[in-house]
Amino acid sequence: MDAYILPKTIAYLFLSTSSPTTLHFETPIEFIQAGKGSDFDVAFSKDKKTLVLRPIGIFSDQKNMVIISKDTHFHFKLMNVEKRSHDFVYIHRGDRNISYVKQFENDFLKIHEGESSLYLVNKTKNPLEINGVMVHKSAVFSKGLPVIMNGEVVY
């Protein structure tokens, strides 16, 4: 699976205690902070571009993970799920796209997908909380990882 992470955004990762999650980055990782020191097993490849992450125990609240490379940094919210966890994710730097195609619609929002980002349109008169951000009319989000509205995965 490919994930395109926009700068200065938070991306959600689903982890499971039963299987590790592998993240592959385009540039070597220079620093990682994931939860508290004893929350996760972490291993790196020799070239520091691949990270294997597994929670040591089940956790109910979200954990933060920050990864810094030479060129950029990534901020993740880690969620413990036993089903639908992410197995292998190629992490790319995302960009705002010029053109999008509608992929999903419900009573609350429309999601349009571009090459390396998502464009979300709020269909209501009230702000929606999407991936921790209040969306009043529309917003651009990272592509490839879950879109979470009010604590529920919608895309």
- The domains of the chain are located at 2-93, 101-146
Answering whether pTM is above 0.75, one says yes
* Length in residues, the chain: 155
Residues 141, 118 contacting (CB under 8 angstroms): yes
Please check the confidence at residue 66 and state whether its pLDDT lies above 90: yes
Average pLDDT of the residues in 31-60: 90
Please check the confidence at residue 86 and state whether its pLDDT lies above 80: yes
Write down the H helix ranges in the chain: none
Indicate the class that CATH gives domain 2-93: mainly beta
pLDDT score at 85: 85
Average pLDDT of the residues in 53-59: 87
pLDDT band at 123 (very low <50, low <70, confident <90, very high): very high
Unique residue bearing structure tokens 């929606």: 128
Please check the confidence at residue 13 and state whether its pLDDT lies above 90: yes
Residues 119, 112 contacting (CB under 8 angstroms): yes
